[in-house]
Structure 1
Amino acid sequence: MFEEQLLNPDYHDRRNFTSGISELDEYIQRFAAQQSKKNIAVVRVLVDSTTPHVILGYYSLSAAQIDVMQLDDKARKKLPRYPIPCFRMGRLAVHSAHQGRGLGRLLIGCVIERCLEAKKQVAAYALVVDAKGNQAKKFCEHYGFIACYENPMTLYLLLGG
């Protein structure tokens, strides 16, 4: 059974995580624990309960804001003309040995669920992500993310009313 857990650098095997994208691998191996400790990002990992130290995938989440002018016309008309509070999914990756099994979709679901839960305590209009390439952009668009006007590699997903 899959479980989502906070990254524990002393327990989870970051060193052997490989997604096929060096920037994402380097992040979990070298920077995720530091950013978590400094409260820059919360990093959560997906594991199988039978081998809970092996990271199948991960994501990072932090607070953010977006310029209202980056949003689509419909959203922009309803909002004030200053930066809008959001959550930022900084990274999302699935181990190369487990790609194609729907774990990316599962992780996106975990991120959205976590944002909706946090939104009950702290206001946030959308989930923002900076796609690291065209494949990542298409992945996000598949799940309803919309490209920002000035930077189409930055996408957002409205978090409801």
Structure 2
Amino acid sequence: MTMQFEIAALASGHDRKSFSCGVAPLDRYLKEQAGQDIKRRAALCYVACPHGEDRIAGYYTLSAGDVALKDMPEDIARKLPRYPVVPVARVGRLAIDKEFQGNRLGAALLWDAADRALRSEMGVFALAVDAKDEQAADFYRHFGFIAFASKPLQLFLPLVTIAKTGA
């Protein structure tokens, strides 16, 4: 039987203390910094919890950002307005608790972020991510993300592509 998860904005009732993804900065962020970022409106944090539970199985952050037009692949940049930067929705962090890794929860959280970016009332061209390493970059490329030529660990997926795939 497949475990069911509920994805919602991080709230005070969620159990942050027991979260452990195996990457200390990502664990520390959720436990110590996420609440402050939400209060300051620097980023929003969404968590996946097993249905009916408050323990966090995974999380991601979403914020507004931009990327330099000159860093975009030429075939894409050619179709964009000639502004120096392109607005994006940025997934700043994405982490899955060790107990829940390998169950495609990361993909579910990524597509939840894509759906939120697509439904946003802000003008953004793409969903952007900063992969922490090559393995993480491979994860994003698997879902169609495109790396910037000069920054291979920074990737993006145009919202028009997300809309076509039905995130």
Per the normalisation by structure 1, the TM-score is 0.94
Q: Secondary structure at the match of 1:152?
A: strand
Q: Give the alignment of 1:1-161 within 5 angstroms.
A: 1-8=4-11, 10-51=12-53, 53-81=54-82, 82-118=84-120, 121-160=121-160
Count residues in correspondence: 157
The whole-number CA distance in structure 2 between the counterparts of 1:80 and 1:49 is: 44
The whole-number CA distance in structure 1 between the counterparts of 2:16 and 2:40 is: 18
After superposition, the C-alpha distances for 1:111-150 in whole angstroms (9 at most, x for unaligned) are 11111100xx211001111111111111111111111122
**Which runs of no fewer than 5 residues in structure 1 stay unpaired?**
none
Letter in 2 for 1:89: V
The whole-number CA distance in structure 1 between the counterparts of 2:146 and 2:24 is: 26
The whole-number CA distance in structure 2 between the counterparts of 1:141 and 1:27 is: 25
Per the normalisation by structure 2, the TM-score is 0.90
Q: Which runs of 4+ in 1 moved over 6 A?
A: none
The whole-number CA distance in structure 2 between the counterparts of 1:71 and 1:156 is: 9
The whole-number CA distance in structure 2 between the counterparts of 1:29 and 1:138 is: 27
- Counting aligned pairs with the same residue, the percent is 37
